[in-house]
Amino acid sequence: MATGATEAKAKVHERGGVAVIELHGEINRSAEAVIERGYEEAAALGPSSLLLDFGSVDYINSTGIALIVGVLARARADGRTVRACGLSDHYREIFEITRLADFMTIHADEASALAEASG
CATH number at residue 58: 3.30.750.24
Convert the pLDDT of each residue in 39-79 to its tens digit: 999 999 999 999 999 999 999 999 999 999 999 999 999 99
Residue 2 in any domain: the answer is no
Confirm whether 117 is domain-assigned: no
Average pLDDT over residues 4-17: 91
To the question of pTM greater than 0.85 for the whole model, the response is yes
Check pLDDT > 70 for residue 4. no
Reduce the secondary structure of the chain to three states and give it as a string.
Answer: CCCCCCCCEEEEEEECCEEEEEEEEEECHHHHHHHHHHHHHHHHCCCCEEEEEEEEEEEECHHHHHHHHHHHHHHHHCCCEEEEECCCHHHHHHHHHCCHHHCCEEECCHHHHHHHHHC
- 112 in a structural domain: no
- Domain housing 70: 9-107
Question: Total domain count for the chain?
Answer: 1
pLDDT > 60? residue 8: yes
Residue 20 scores a pLDDT above 70: yes
Mean pLDDT computed over every residue of the chain: 94
